[in-house]
Structure 1
Amino acid sequence: MIRSLLTGAALVSFAATGAFAQAEFTLRIQTHLSPESVSGKNAARFFDDIEVMSGGRIDIEPFYSSAVVKSVETFDAAVNGIVDGDMTGGAYQTGKDPAFQFVGDPMGGYDTPWQMYAFLYNGGGMEAAQKLYNEYGMQLIGWWIPGQESLASSSPIPGPEAIKDWKFRSPPGMETKIFANMGASPIVMDFTEVFTAMESGIIEGTDHSNLSTSQSVGIYDLVKHATYPGFHSMPADHLAINQSVWESMPEDLQRIVEVAMQKLSFRTTLDYEVDIQRAANELSAAGVTMYDWSAEDRGAFRDAAVAAWDDFATTQMAKDLVAQHKDFLTKIGLYGDN
């Protein structure tokens, strides 16, 4: 009888505070990702983690594939209360402040996603980035990084000498400055034009994405050379939440979101490490040659990248983030005097 009463009391308590509790907060979060993608599936697990760990006190209303507004408009939609959270990437917001480049993709800076996470959590990155996000009424929750991007080419690219006068598709922005500093000939074009441009010889290669993603869209059906592991670009997606909404949440719920975000970050990187290695094995077997640049060659690229950082950092926020990155890169032995 006592056991029965205790069980009943536990059930009442669970119903009041656990999974059956009515949601105290509904977070509407938009992402540019599709629900079928690797990252989209991880995002769904993240949303579920928050709902379960909060005992139903937080309800997530997700919008995949930029269903509410365009991807580049998600940040402003969260600022203005159309949605509550932006799960796209900081690099979409460089028009507001070039500092967003250095939270979205500090190109050429880090060799691995783990170094970039270390900057965020151990190198003062979160504090520096938070000032930027708070300036626009947003709270940065964290980054998640799929992995290093690879260059694809119709000709060998074993080191810096090979990219002199190399004509390749580049996205707009800081990347064109970096590769121009190295003597390459970047051509800005939409990715939809890449296959025709490569087939006709207008370009010799492209910067697209990581090895497995590029494999999935057929780039290596056309060209048989790639950098691997990549070194030139490692974009991070972010989660940022309207600051007023965030500050209205009690600390225990904030902690749940932050911890779930770290799980999302690390699991995403691990998943892509496996998938990228799988792609590398399959592509090598299919005759694609992989080029792993030496530490010295990566250092030469990093020097060119940092020179472009300084040119790109035209605001105080951007200069502060660049200084923070340089300090941390020096601390871990990737840049400057050690």
Structure 2
Amino acid sequence: MTCTLRRTTALATALALMTGAASAQNLTMSSWVPPTHFLHTDVLVPFAEQVAEVTEGRVTVTILPAPLGGPAQHWELARTGVADIAWGNFTYEPERFVSLWFAEFPNAGTNGEAQSVALWRTYQAHLADLPVFDGVEMLAVGMFGGGQLHHGSAQMLTPEDIAGQKFRMGGPIQERLLTELGAVPVAAPATRAYEMLESGVIDGSLHTMESVVNFRLEDALTHHTIFPDGFYDATFFVVMNGARWDSIAPADQAAIEAIAGETLSATWGRQFDLQSPAATEALAAAGHTITQASPELIAAVDTIRDAMVADWIVAAAEAGVADPATMMGFYMETYEALAAE
């Protein structure tokens, strides 16, 4: 976390000193999931409580009762200081965060904790100094253990099954996968999936298994196609406004760093690892159809992935990544080692 370069102005630094860095501070956090969602109850609330504990009450975090913007706006909410802390999905701003696309390709893994820690270490080693991350203090990154393919009325086992079907998706990786499989991608955040399914705008949607349950889609999505290493993934962030971070006393910064970073990233992924198996069991018990993707479909996805990786290496280099292939290899080697523990 300390290796992150932020271009903070001398005025901001002076202001932090003038206002007294050691004084008690209450930080606001904007979150766009409902307070019943496990990310709120099992990740964000415990983190807020830990911040108060490790700083002996000098720094507290208040999770606002309603989000200050839509899901795709949360990076900017923190960067510009509208909220002190925010979390969100890198996927929802794909052009800004092209450097992270590698972690969203098919076969990124199905162990969310290992993925999230591997992504944190990759960020620290290869990405933290890029200008795109200026203005914020990265508190954690995360992944969710592999997204899958879900449909409202039919099994999707082969490319022929998928052709012509309309699927909600969240970013360019998913869009290209669906398009090249012959489907019709429809861009929208996960929070809109239910209304789109109910109105017939889409036939299916891309989610983790837990998301089908936690976004209350189990009545609308009844057929689930499982890819053993994940059909796609998503990358997430927890960030704090850079100037606000600089206003915190160094001792309290160190205390927060000890519970954030790799620790908070691991917690993020671990919670998804707990949720998805339980959701799969609940959906099976409810009579849903849960089947493995056919070898033909897996092979088709692997071919698309290979082309995406080749194109991304060029795009990531243009976005400032020094050696995209090496970075991706670092992530995969780190993930595989952690998943094997």
Smaller-chain TM-score bracket: 0.7 to 0.9
Partner amino acid, structure 1, of 2:52: E
Matched, 1:328 2:320: no
Q: Which of 203, 225, 228 is 1:227 aligned to?
A: 225
The CA RMSD over aligned residues, in Å, is 3.5
Partner amino acid, structure 2, of 1:98: V
Q: Please name the residue that 1:171 is paired with.
A: 170
User: 1:298 and 1:251, CA in 2 relative to 1: closer, same or farther beyond 3 A?
Assistant: farther
- 5 Å-filtered alignment, 1:86-97, equals 86-97=86-97
Partner amino acid, structure 2, of 1:194: L
Q: Please name the residue that 1:107 is paired with.
A: 105
Identical-pair percentage = 17
Q: Please name the residue that 2:212 is paired with.
A: 214
Q: Please name the residue that 1:253 is paired with.
A: 252
Q: Secondary structure at the match of 1:82?
A: coil
Distance of 1:163 and 1:45 partners within structure 2: 41
Q: Please name the residue that 2:11 is paired with.
A: none
Q: Please name the residue that 1:289 is paired with.
A: 289
User: 1:32 and 1:118, CA in 2 relative to 1: closer, same or farther beyond 3 A?
Assistant: same
Q: Secondary structure at the match of 2:154?
A: coil
Q: Please name the residue that 2:15 is paired with.
A: none
Larger radius of gyration, structure 1 or 2? Answer: 1
Distance of 1:266 and 1:291 partners within structure 2: 29
Q: For the Cα contact (< 8 Å) 2:87–2:236, is it kept in 1?
A: yes
Q: Which of 113, 137, 140 is 2:138 aligned to?
A: 140
Q: CA offsets, 1:258-282, max 9 Å, x none?
A: 3323444333433333332222122
Partner amino acid, structure 2, of 1:214: V
Gaps of 5+ in 2: 1-21, 337-341
Distance of 2:86 and 2:335 partners within structure 1: 34
Q: Secondary structure at the match of 1:221?
A: coil
Distance of 1:175 and 1:53 partners within structure 2: 40
TM-aligned CA deviation for residue 226 of structure 1: 0.4
Q: Please name the residue that 1:277 is paired with.
A: 277
Q: Which moved more, 1:270-279 or 1:182-191?
A: 182-191
Q: CA offsets, 1:71-130, max 9 Å, x none?
A: 43332232223332222232333343533555xx623241122342243244x3323331
- 5 Å-filtered alignment, 1:1-338, equals 23-41=23-41, 42-66=43-67, 68-99=68-99, 101=101, 106-112=104-110, 113-122=112-121, 124-132=122-130, 135-153=133-151, 154-158=153-157, 162-188=161-187, 191=193, 192-197=195-200, 203-207=202-206, 209-228=207-226, 231-261=230-260, 262-293=262-293, 298=298, 301-311=301-311, 314=315, 316-317=318-319, 320=322, 322-328=324-330, 331=333
Q: Secondary structure at the match of 1:76?
A: helix
User: 1:132 and 1:266, CA in 2 relative to 1: closer, same or farther beyond 3 A?
Assistant: same
User: 1:72 and 1:167, CA in 2 relative to 1: closer, same or farther beyond 3 A?
Assistant: closer
Q: For the Cα contact (< 8 Å) 1:309–1:322, is it kept in 2?
A: no
Q: Please name the residue that 2:9 is paired with.
A: none
User: 1:120 and 1:279, CA in 2 relative to 1: closer, same or farther beyond 3 A?
Assistant: closer
User: 1:114 and 1:217, CA in 2 relative to 1: closer, same or farther beyond 3 A?
Assistant: closer
TM-score, structure 1 length as denominator? 0.74
Partner amino acid, structure 1, of 2:213: Q
Q: Please name the residue that 1:19 is paired with.
A: none
Partner amino acid, structure 2, of 1:126: Q
User: 1:310 and 1:74, CA in 2 relative to 1: closer, same or farther beyond 3 A?
Assistant: same
Gaps of 5+ in 1: 1-21
Q: For the Cα contact (< 8 Å) 1:33–1:64, is it kept in 2?
A: no
Distance of 1:179 and 1:322 partners within structure 2: 24
Distance of 2:30 and 2:149 partners within structure 1: 29
The count of residues paired between Structure 1 and Structure 2 equals 304
Q: Which moved more, 1:69-78 or 1:157-166?
A: 157-166
TM-score, structure 2 length as denominator? 0.73
